[in-house]
Amino acid sequence: MGAGDTTRRAGLKAYAKLNVGLRVLYKRPDNYHELRTVFQTISLADRLDVAFTPADGTSVTIEGTPEIPDNLVERATRLVLEELSLQADVRFLLKKHIPSGAGLGGGSSDAAAVLIALPVLAGRVIPMERLLVLGAQLGSDVPFFLRGGTALGLGRGEELYPLPDLPSQHCLLVAPNVHSSTALAYGDLSRGLTTNALQNKLSSFQQDVWSGVDKSVPVVNDFEKVVFSRHPELPAIRDRLMDSGATFAGMTGSGSSIFAFFDSEASRKRTEASLPDQRTFAVSFLSRAQYRSRWQRALKLHTKGNEWPPRNRYDR
């Protein structure tokens, strides 16, 4: 169905995340792993242009990116339409800026963008509690992107609690051309999980959270040891960042991206200039208020008020 008067459009940004610390405690009876992590949204984002047109049947078209198996954008779209008992022609132009397989949550953020925006364009409302359920069906990180800011993640990462905003950082992200397999990382890590280490992990993680993830506190990511052993170029990048003056450098998620904090913008820029062989991004933290404000601006033609999730102006 072609575009017409009934078509509603929006230009969206789906923001990436960092895991500022990640502890893997044990494998659960449901075969998932019990986690503790601090999520933080950052300014790096994919671009997602969407056009929604009511139709007699449902079709989902995604252009602008190579074919992605089990595309979360399409799955999220069909989940929303099923939830709303609607049929529509939904077209996306997706421009990927968040590297894949890098521990930055790009696919999950794209899916969350659909969950937030599509009900608005459809003139319907899905309450946050239902959006969170739908998000968890798509992936463990998706619920976080329905909230944004700084949050404590428990369980598989889908159980979320808001934390005070982390202090602004001069942050440099290095995304090497390495695809880190989450499944392999979990497999390698599971062989080393012991009951004796559990309490130590919990205690150190609690220390990190209570300190506000202060730069003076060493933040631990349990995946680093096993992923670094498979990809020795990653610890080499971390060491280069530390040698260049970073106050902290570590891996996000199950890899492969490495992020680093610096005391000044000048120090960050010098380090970035010293890494011409790497794909780098100067990024900033987005607070929960900033995250939601950017979403409100992206959907302002179709929304009313400042509710979260955004409330469409077509609903009566």
Please list the active-site residues.
Answer: 17, 141
CA distance 237 to 249: 9
CA distance 130 to 124: 13
- Tokens standing for 216? 């003076």
CA distance 67 to 252: 25
Whether the link from the prior residue into 309 is cis, omega within 30° of 0, is yes
User: Does residue 291 contact residue 148 with C-beta atoms inside 8 Å?
Assistant: yes
Closest alpha carbon to 169 in 250, 49, 275: 250
Contacts of 193 (CB under 8 A, 6+ apart): 24, 25, 26, 27
CA distance 206 to 25: 13
CA distance 147 to 125: 17
